[in-house]
């Protein structure tokens, strides 16, 4: 366990929506170990990056895409020395709990029928970008695009399926694991989309408490939570 720092601080984290369940579970341990306060704002990585770009008071950014971290790095807004690849994930097709697995991707349009395919924003949010790339790689995007219901972030896409408002959706494996009202019907081939990596970094001007958080996220207790919820740990 990390020692208590001499002076407790406050840490504001901007984190990709897909990290909500994990960070909610990790937060109490971090606060107990360090004495720091922790506030986490969850949204799509694109929204968070643009808020940081506009001057929002974040101390740490955890993105679901290297591209949005690169975007901030190019403007000198992150502490480059603090950046690390924290986690990995996989992409899955979800449906209702009673649905049978999808064994052939060519059957997806038939399975979808006239329904909607829930996805995060395909031009901005990492989960949507990965999902569009995967469907395009499988030769399905052009056919399915008119039926895609785009949501602001991946958790919103998950909710559309969990509430029965869309029969199928594309989310991260960890999102599906966190929601009992959906089932995983298939996992997209790893080669069908860019690697899913979650970089984390301090924002320029943040204090020692922000570094304490980054260190804690790489500690055994935090990594155990991430692993239990299905995240890959790329630094293994």
For 79-118, write each residue's pLDDT tens digit: 999 999 999 999 999 999 999 999 999 999 999 999 999 9
Strand partners, 60: 13, 202
pLDDT of residue 178: 93
CB atoms within 10 A of CB 129: 22
Q: Which domains occur in the chain, in start order?
A: 10-88+196-228 (3.40.190.10), 91-192 (3.40.190.10)
Please report how the helices 66-74 and 45-53 are oriented relative to each other, as an axis angle in degrees rounded to 10. 10
Q: Is 0.85 topped by the overall pTM? A: yes
What one-character-per-residue DSSP string does 8-52 give? Answer: --EEEEEEEGGGHHHHHHHHHHHHHHH--EEEEEEE-HHHHHHHH
pLDDT of 66-81, one tens digit each? 999 999 999 999 999 9
pLDDT in tens, 46-64: 999 999 999 999 999 999 9
Q: Phi and psi dihedrals of 170, rounded to 5?
A: -120, 115
């Amino acid at each position: 366990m990390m020692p208590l720092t001499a002076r407790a601080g406050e840490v504001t984290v901007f984190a990709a929506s897909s990290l909500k369940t994990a960070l909610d579970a990790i937060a109490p341990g971090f606060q107990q170990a360090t004495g720091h306060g922790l506030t986490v704002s969850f949204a799509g990585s694109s929204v968070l990056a643009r808020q940081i770009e506009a001057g929002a008071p974040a101390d740490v950014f955890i993105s679901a895409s290297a591209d949005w971290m690169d975007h901030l790095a190019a403007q000198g807004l992150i502490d480059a020395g603090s950046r690390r690849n924290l986690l990995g994930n996989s992409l899955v097709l979800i449906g209702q709990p009673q649905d049978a697995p999808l064994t052939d991707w060519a059957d997806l349009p038939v399975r979808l029928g006239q329904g909607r395919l829930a996805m995060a924003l395909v031009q901005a949010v990492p989960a949507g970008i990965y999902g569009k790339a995967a469907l395009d790689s499988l030769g399905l995007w052009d056919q399915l695009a008119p039926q895609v219901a785009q949501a602001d972030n991946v958790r919103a896409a998950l909710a559309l399926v969990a509430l029965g408002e869309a029969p199928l959706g594309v989310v991260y494996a960890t999102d599906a694991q966190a929601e009992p009202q959906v089932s995983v019907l298939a996992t997209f081939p790893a080669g069908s989309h860019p690697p899913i990596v979650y970089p984390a970094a301090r924002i320029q001007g943040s204090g020692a408490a922000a570094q304490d958080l980054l260190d804690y996220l790489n500690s055994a207790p935090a990594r155990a939570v991430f692993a239990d919820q299905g995240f890959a740990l790329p630094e293994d």
